[in-house]
C-alpha cells in the first residue's frame, strides 16, 4: 500500500495549457505507473489558468475513492480571500478533508492570530491543517513566515488540531524534528525536497539529512508521511529516495500509508479501486 499525501493538479509551466481533467488523467497515469494506491490533492492558495479552483477539482474527481482533496486557503488578498462559510460547508459535506495553509507565499506567518477561526473549523470537524514550511517556489515569498518552529506555537495553542509540516521544513530539518518530537499533534510529509528528479549527490545529501532528523525525533513511523509534491517532483525518483532511507519495515509501512490513512480517514479498502 502506498499513499502519496501531497500532490497538485496545478500546471507550473505557464507556456503549457491543460484542463483540470487533463491534469487528473496525468495523475492517475502516474499513480498507476508508480504503484500509488491513493493520492491527496492539495489545491492552491490562488486561482488562475494554471491553478484550478477547489470546486473544479471536486467536479473532476467526482468522488473517486482514489483521491482525497485538501483545500488551499487564500488569506491575505481582501478581494479573493477564502470564504470560511463556504470552506466549512465543503468540509461538513465531506467534499474536502482538510485545509492547506501557504504562509510565506500568501504573506502571513504560520502563527498569525487571525487564523484562529480557521483552526476552530479544523477542530470542529476533526480535519488536519497542512502547512507549507521552509523553502518556497517563489522569489516573492517570505520564508521566515514559513519557518517550522512557528508550528510549535499553533500546536500548543490548538491541541485538538492536527498539523502537518509539509516538506520537512526544508532546510530547517532539525527545527522541524524538534517540533515533531515535542508535539504529538504534529506530523510531517517528506514531499518537495527536490524539483524534478533527484541528482545523485543531492539525493545522498537529502537522505543523510532525513536520517539525522529521524535519529533526533525518534520513531518516524508515527509522524512522517510519504509525499512527492507531484508534478513538481517526479514519482519514480521519490520511490527511490524513500527506499534509500532504509527504514525498518514497521516504520516504512507507517510512513508509506498508515499515518496518512489515519490522518485523512482514508478507507484503505477502497484505495486503488475506481
In terms of DSSP bridges, do strands 129-132 and 163-166 run parallel, antiparallel, or are they unpaired? parallel
What is the pLDDT at residue 77? 76
154-174 burial by CB neighbour count: b if 16+ within 10 A, else e?
bbeebeebbbbbbbbbbebbe
Please give the model's pTM, rounded to 2 decimal places. 0.94
Angle made by CA atoms 52, 266, 130, in degrees to the nearest 5 = 50
Angle of helix 149-157 relative to helix 173-182, nearest 10 degrees, comes to 20
Cβ-Cβ contacts under 8 Å for 195 (sequence gap 6 or more):
232, 233
What is the pLDDT at residue 271? 54
The DSSP annotation for 180-194 comes to: HHH-TTEEEE---SS
Exposed (0-12), middle (13-18) or buried (19+): which is 262, by Cβ within 10 Å? middle
Cell output for 215: 535519529
Distance CA 10, CA 49 (A): 9
DSSP letter, residue 93:
T
Distance CA 221, CA 248 (A): 9
274 residues of the chain, pLDDT tens digit each: 999 999 999 998 777 888 999 999 999 999 999 999 999 999 999 988 899 999 999 999 999 999 999 999 999 876 788 999 999 999 999 999 999 999 999 999 999 999 999 999 999 999 999 999 999 878 888 999 999 999 999 999 999 999 999 999 999 999 999 999 999 999 999 999 999 999 999 999 999 999 999 988 878 788 999 999 999 999 999 999 999 999 999 999 999 999 999 999 999 875 544 4
In this structure, how many other beta carbons lie within 10 angstroms of the beta carbon of residue 152? 19
Helix (H) or strand (E) holding 225: strand 224-225
Alpha helices in 93-172 (DSSP H): 116-125, 149-157
What is the pLDDT at residue 273? 47
CB 185 within 8 A of CB 156: no
Distance CA 121, CA 32 (A): 34
C-alpha distances out from residue 39 to 26, 54, 87, 229, 271, Å: 12, 16, 21, 11, 9
CB 148 within 8 A of CB 170: no
Amino acid at each position: 500500500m502506498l499513499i502519496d499525501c501531497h500532490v497538485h493538479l496545478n500546471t507550473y509551466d505557464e507556456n503549457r495549457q491543460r484542463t483540470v481533467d487533463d491534469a487528473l488523467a496525468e495523475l492517475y497515469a502516474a499513480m498507476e505507473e508508480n504503484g500509488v494506491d491513493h493520492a491527496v490533492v492539495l489545491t492552491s492558495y490562488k486561482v488562475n489558468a494554471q491553478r484550478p479552483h477547489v470546486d473544479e477539482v471536486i467536479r473532476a474527481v467526482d468522488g473517486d475513492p482514489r483521491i482525497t482533496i485538501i483545500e488551499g486557503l487564500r488569506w491575505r488578498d481582501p478581494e479573493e480571500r477564502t470564504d470560511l462559510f463556504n470552506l466549512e460547508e465543503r468540509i461538513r459535506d465531506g467534499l474536502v478533508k482538510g485545509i492547506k495553509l501557504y504562509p510565506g507565499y500568501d504573506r502571513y506567518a504560520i502563527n498569525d492570530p487571525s487564523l484562529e477561526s480557521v483552526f476552530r473549523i479544523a477542530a470542529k470537524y476533526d480535519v488536519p491543517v497542512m502547512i507549507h514550511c521552509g523553502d518556497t517556489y517563489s522569489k516573492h515569498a517570505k520564508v521566515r513566515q514559513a519557518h517550522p518552529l512557528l508550528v510549535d506555537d499553533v500546536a500548543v495553542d490548538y491541541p485538538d488540531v492536527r498539523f502537518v509540516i509539509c516538506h520537512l521544513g526544508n532546510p530547517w530539518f532539525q527545527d522541524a524534528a524538534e517540533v515533531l518530537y515535542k508535539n504529538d499533534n504534529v506530523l510531517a510529509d517528506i514531499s518537495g525536497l527536490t524539483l524534478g528528479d533527484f541528482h545523485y549527490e543531492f539525493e545522498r545529501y537529502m537522505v543523510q539529512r532525513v536520517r539525522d532528523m529521524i535519529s533526533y525525533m525518534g520513531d518516524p513511523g508515527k509522524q512522517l508521511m510519504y509525499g512527492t509534491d507531484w508534478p513538481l517532483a517526479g514519482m519514480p525518483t521519490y520511490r527511490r529516495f524513500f527506499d534509500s532511507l532504509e527504514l525498518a519495515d514497521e516504520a516504512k509501512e507507517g510512513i508509506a500509508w498508515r499515518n496518512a490513512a489515519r490522518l485523512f480517514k482514508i478507507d484503505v479498502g477502497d484505495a486503488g479501486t475506481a
